Amino acid sequence: MTEDYLRRIGTLIRDARQHRGWTQAQLAETLGTSQSAINRIERGHQNLSLEMLARIGDALDSEIVSLGRSGPMHLRVVGGRQLSGSIDVKTSKNACVALLCASLLNHGRTTLRQVARIEEVNRILEVLHSIGVRTRWLNENNDLEIVPPATLDLDGMDVAAARRTRSVLMFLGPLMHREDRFQLPYAGGCDLGTRTVEPHMVALRKFGLEVKATSGFYHAEVDRTVSPGAIVLTERGDTVTENALLAAARHDGVTVIRNASPNYMVQDLCFFLAELGVRIEGVGTTTLTVHGVPTIDRDVDYAPSEDPIEAMSLITAAIVTASELTVRRVPIEFMEIELAHLEEMGLHFTRSEEYASHNGRTRLVDVTVFPSTLRAPIDKIHPMPFPGLNIDNVPFFAVIAATANGTTLIHDWVYENRAIHLTELNKLGGRVRLADPHRIYVDGPTHWSGTEVICPPALRPAVCILLAMLAAKGTSVLRNIYVINRGYEDLAERLNQLGAQIESFRDI
């Protein structure tokens, strides 16, 4: 390699290491080499074998040092193996992204504990970084420090990163307190059909935020003479409730938000806002009364709670592989209806006494699932805004129904496109019939067989296919798993610790 190349690769390695929050000594220890060798590599003074480059890439879990950006990641799954042992549920994608956006309300330092280290979080971090916010992973526990600058550099925004997530929409609420006029790129995310931003616009207009959408950007202008008083959301959506909370948090006065979502990520955001000094009444209900404070400048420390959707995913992994498995740290308030349905379907499980999450508020239990013979539920499975069966947990019932005796009707009235993606299970031997874009019939039980599938462009259906692959005899290949990494941290590795056999690989 030329010296110039070595220097550039060295810089990439240093950046990836710092992004992970590691010292040179920590990277050296992981690779079984010396700190001085890492120092030489980072300065471009050390020849590198391809094997060493690959090992560094693996250690830092970074595409940056994979050769020539070697394209998408895939999984090879040897299925038909039972899982065993126990696994902890990690913090939720949806709370973490909301809290990252909320940190923009604060002029002080925000420390978030055990943040899910997932692609969705990475994209928001890239956007924050590009506008001048300092973010730093503090340690191996994924504690994250966020320090906003006095003035944001909105012109420097990483538009490509912003467009890859829908969560960036939650910049609208905080930014209106900092700028009179700004623009945000159109939000992206999973392909689940039309997901309008109209409810956000309707809610934020009440706070004086007028938004025009042209040529790929939302152009926002703030009229500070407007006072919302009471607002009624047109939908009980999660992120729209969060945006209204973020707008109300620094509004000088009391705002009442009606038809608010009381869902888990909204509750986490309310607990975080309380740490920032914003008093909120009605947390966990559909009416939130927010006592805003115009200036927030506090060093705060908050631990977001565990992900009910990851809990459901792991319980599903146990069910489809007929395994005895303990899923620890399940946020039970947000999984009760799911577990009630599973009990009706014949699932044997036990749950521990409740204990508190690190935020001191969310109630957790450990759930142990036992191999069971399931029957299809008599009534259809359908989601409702919380308290109801979680919209993001509905797809998992398709894989579970496929293992049960009989026919299950699943009605996803929420998303225009999500049920369609579940017909991909048929490639593995599933019998999923699409009645219309919102309803599927699933016939079970299924004799799964391994095959190759490209991830559908939707997070939960993609995970459902991975879980079916765990149950399928033989070897399967799941291609292009970015969509899974958007919401799950090290899912394959963590399943392997339970006895799964999953290998990740890339095309050369």
Ligand X SMILES: C=C(OP(=O)(O)O)C(=O)O
Query: Would you count residue 460 as binding ligand X (CB under 6 A)?
Result: yes
Among 189, 308, 331, 461, binds ligand X (CB under 6 A): 189
Measured from the CB atom, the residue of 192 and 381 that comes closer to ligand X is 192
Partner from ligand X, ligand UD1, none contacting 487, C-beta within 5 to 8 A by type: ligand X
What's the rounded Cα separation, in Å, for the pair 296 and 274?
A: 11
Contact 19, 65 (CB under 8 A): no
Measured from the CB atom, the residue of 206 and 418 that comes closer to ligand X is 418
Query: Would you count residue 366 as binding ligand UD1 (CB under 6 A)?
Result: no
Task: Report the nearest approach of ligand X to the CB of residue 127 (Å).
Answer: 14
The burial of 340, by beta-carbon neighbours within 10 Å (0-12 exposed, 13-18 middle, 19 or more buried), is given as exposed
Query: Would you count residue 116 as binding ligand UD1 (CB under 6 A)?
Result: no
Partner from ligand UD1, ligand X, none contacting 385, C-beta within 5 to 8 A by type: ligand UD1
Query: Would you count residue 201 as binding ligand UD1 (CB under 6 A)?
Result: no
Query: Would you count residue 262 as binding ligand UD1 (CB under 6 A)?
Result: no
Task: Report the nearest approach of ligand X to the CB of residue 357 (Å).
Answer: 19
Query: Would you count residue 459 as binding ligand X (CB under 6 A)?
Result: yes
Closest to 175 measured CA to CA, from 146, 203, 151: 151
Measured from the CB atom, the residue of 59 and 463 that comes closer to ligand X is 463
Measured from the CB atom, the residue of 42 and 306 that comes closer to ligand X is 306
Nearest residue to ligand X by CB is 189
Among 177, 195, 251, 421, binds ligand UD1 (CB under 6 A): 195
SS3 for 434? strand
Q: Segment contacting ligand UD1 (CB under 6 A): 7-15, 77-85, 235-243, 346-354?
A: 235-243
Closest to 87 measured CA to CA, from 494, 503, 405: 494
Among 42, 238, 306, 424, binds ligand UD1 (CB under 6 A): 238
SS3 for 172? helix
Q: β-strands 452-454, 474-479: how paired?
A: parallel
Task: Report the nearest approach of ligand X to the CB of residue 307 (Å).
Answer: 9
What's the rounded Cα separation, in Å, for the pair 453 and 427?
A: 7
Contacts of 250 (CB under 8 A, 6+ apart): 105, 177, 292, 293, 294, 295, 296
Size of site (CB under 6 A) for ligand X? 9
SS3 for 59? helix
- Other C-beta atoms within 10 Å of 36: how many? 11
Query: Would you count residue 414 as binding ligand UD1 (CB under 6 A)?
Result: yes
Task: Report the nearest approach of ligand UD1 to the CB of residue 240 (Å).
Answer: 6
Partner from ligand X, ligand UD1, none contacting 311, C-beta within 5 to 8 A by type: none
Among 74, 117, 166, 329, binds ligand UD1 (CB under 6 A): 166
Sign of CA dihedral 268, 270, 271, 277: positive
- x/- mask, ligand X, residues 470-499, rule CB under 6 A, reads -----------------x------------
Query: Would you count residue 442 as binding ligand X (CB under 6 A)?
Result: no
Task: Report the nearest approach of ligand UD1 to the CB of residue 119 (Å).
Answer: 13
Partner from ligand UD1, ligand X, none contacting 414, C-beta within 5 to 8 A by type: ligand UD1
303 Cα distance to chain centroid: 16
Query: Would you count residue 265 as binding ligand UD1 (CB under 6 A)?
Result: yes
Q: Tell me 312's DSSP state.
A: H
497 Cα distance to chain centroid: 21
Task: Report the nearest approach of ligand UD1 to the CB of residue 391 (Å).
Answer: 4
Measured from the CB atom, the residue of 228 and 385 that comes closer to ligand UD1 is 385
Count the residues in the chain.
508
Closest to 77 measured CA to CA, from 428, 324, 445: 428
Closest to 310 measured CA to CA, from 165, 434, 495, 77: 495
Query: Would you count residue 418 as binding ligand UD1 (CB under 6 A)?
Result: no
Residue 255 dihedral angles phi and psi, to the nearest 5°: -120, 135
Q: Tell me 56's DSSP state.
A: H
SS3 for 379? coil
What's the rounded Cα separation, in Å, for the pair 99 and 305?
A: 11
Measured from the CB atom, the residue of 42 and 120 that comes closer to ligand UD1 is 120
Q: Would you tell me which residues interact with ligand X (CB under 6 A)?
A: 166-167, 189-190, 192, 392, 459-460, 487
